[in-house]
Amino acid sequence: MKKTILALSMCTIFLATKAQTNLLVDGGFESFQPGPGNFTTITGGKVNGLSGKWQMVFGKGGCPGGCGQGSATIVTTEKKMGNNAIEIKVDTQVSRNDIKIYQSIAGTQAAGLYEVSFWVKASIASPVSIELLKGTQPHPHNGNVPFAGYFTATTQWQQLKFTTNIADWTDLERTEMRVSIRINTSNA
């Protein structure tokens, strides 16, 4: 079985029509000490009440030992910007929903056009997606176009970004909306 190692550095979300203030807290993972991340892990249900904290998921599902297995480590050597990056090692992944990192954004955000971006590098070319999800959607929800961008991470650092319009989302849907980065494998 092949193992994929993905490094993420500097994740951002901006309201495209306003001054560029990053809505994500600690988009560069700078508040974490190097080593295994002290991430909050949620394995099901609705996500709320944890705004501004990175949450790492290795889904348990109905698989022996878990459907998503791997590790997440804060590293200082493989980074694009700042002092840190998160390195996510994928050992086992059954579906694209099994391994992801996400953050809920506190408060009701303005309706409009948003740009979401992050820097990524992988040990082998690997699919990766970034999604903007409504605060009313349950944790295991899969993002859909136009609220998701699908990319291929390569062995070189690259900035991946997509722009989406959430003008038709209600105040409730924009409250605790979240950015989700999903690591995919060829069988997921």
Task: Evaluate if residue 15 carries a pLDDT over 80.
Answer: no
Work out the average pLDDT over 160-186: 84
Q: Which stretch of 48-52, 105-109, 114-118, 159-163 has the lowest confidence by average pLDDT?
A: 48-52
Work out the average pLDDT over 151-174: 90
Query: What are 117-147's pLDDT values in tens digits?
Result: 898 998 888 888 888 888 888 766 666 656 7
Q: What is the set of domains in the chain, with CATH numbers?
A: 4-183 (2.60.120.260)
Q: Are strands 126-133 and 85-93 parallel, antiparallel or unpaired?
A: unpaired
Whether the model clears a pTM of 0.85, i.e. scores above it, the answer is no
List Cα–Cα distances, 77 to 80, 83, 91, in angstroms.
Answer: 9, 8, 21
Query: What are 55-108's pLDDT values in tens digits?
Result: 888 777 777 777 777 888 888 888 888 888 888 888 877 776 678 888 888 777
Q: Degrees (nearest 5) of the Cα angle 152, 156, 162? A: 45
